């Protein structure tokens, strides 16, 4: 019993520090605002690949082939790698072009999109509460589009790409850290080629020899990989329902940073849209708790 309690405590700690770190990402990318978003993305891919490779061969002392078997899985990881790149790139661009509030909306919507996609592609049936939650999310997005006069494309692309990414990973059933390693390996040659060309042409941020900027670019891999490792440790120790609640820490922190630190607009359309999403998430979360309790009984 004491061991279980200790494991739960560790899992909760890892989960909190993971989502807290993700919530602080806008601060990190804002420090690189003077660098092009695409170059930041390339460095994030390159150094994430380096970090994950060292982790596997140096720390785990394991080979990727223990987790990824066959050409089909490698090709599927190429597809998820492209989705990951789209998600990372758009998120960095959104942060550095003053769309932090809209990006946080995307990660609020994401859990509901994941449920919807599981119903559409995995034939998982939606219960009444889940259907109501999704309807609230759709009403919020629709109201924002009509009242604010602009479709929240950043939010929906972030939510959709990450939901499809999660769906693919669930179907593959591959260890998350191994999958990220292969995904970054697929993307790293293109990213490295771009950085080399930029350096050769003298247009790279590295050419400035500004040490803080170079260190931040090098650190992009560490700040990407570490939260994922913490997430894995957390998922092993605490229930999915607890993780479900913790995942709202990150977009909430991003929303607060966007509004109160960076002064982004939070107008009436935002309030109505976010309120609808929050109501949907509350309904969804209550449904998860009831489901967990029923399963325990």
Quick one: which of 239, 189, 250 has its CA closest to 25? 250
The pLDDT value recorded for residue 6 is 65
Which residue segment(s) compose the domain that 43 sits in? 2-296
What are 200-223's pLDDT values in tens digits? 999 999 998 899 999 999 999 999
- Distance from C-alpha of 270 to C-alpha of 257, rounded to nearest angstrom: 15
The pLDDT value recorded for residue 3 is 53
**pTM over 0.75, yes/no:** yes
- Under 8 Å between Cβ of 174 and 67: yes
- Under 8 Å between Cβ of 147 and 269: yes
Please state the domain count of the chain. Answer: 1
**Residue ranges in the chain whose pLDDT is less than 50:** 1-2
What is the separation, in whole angstroms, between the first and last Cα of the chain?
A: 19
The pLDDT value recorded for residue 65 is 77
The pLDDT value recorded for residue 98 is 93
């Amino acid at each position: 019993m004491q061991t279980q309690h200790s494991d739960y405590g560790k899992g909760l700690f890892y989960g909190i520090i993971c989502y807290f770190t993700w919530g602080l990402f806008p601060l990190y990318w804002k420090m690189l605002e003077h660098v092009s978003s695409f170059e930041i993305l390339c460095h994030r891919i390159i150094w994430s690949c380096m970090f994950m490779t060292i982790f596997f061969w140096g720390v785990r002392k394991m080979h990727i082939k223990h987790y990824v078997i066959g050409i089909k899985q490698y090709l599927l990881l190429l597809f998820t790698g492209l989705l990951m790149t789209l998600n990372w790139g758009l998120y960095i661009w959104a942060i550095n072009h003053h769309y932090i509030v809209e990006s946080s909306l995307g990660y609020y919507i994401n859990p509901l999109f994941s449920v919807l996609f599981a119903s559409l592609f995995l034939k998982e049936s939606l219960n009444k509460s889940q259907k109501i939650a999704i309807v609230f999310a759709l009403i919020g997005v629709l109201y924002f589009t009509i009242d604010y006069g602009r479709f929240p494309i950043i939010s929906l692309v972030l939510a959709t790409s990450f939901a499809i990414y999660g769906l693919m990973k669930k179907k593959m059933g591959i260890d998350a850290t191994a999958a990220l390693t292969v995904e970054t390996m697929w993307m790293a040659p293109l990213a490295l080629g771009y950085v080399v060309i930029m350096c050769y042409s003298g247009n790279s941020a590295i050419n400035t020899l500004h040490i803080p900027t170079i260190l931040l670019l090098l650190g992009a891999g560490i700040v990407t990989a570490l939260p994922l490792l913490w997430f894995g440790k957390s998922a092993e120790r605490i229930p999915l329902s607890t993780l479900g609640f913790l995942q709202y820490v990150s977009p909430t922190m991003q929303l607060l940073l966007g509004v109160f630190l960076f002064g982004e607009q939070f107008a009436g359309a935002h309030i109505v849209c976010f309120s609808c999403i929050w109501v949907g998430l509350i309904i969804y979360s209550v449904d998860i708790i009831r489901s967990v309790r029923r399963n325990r009984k």
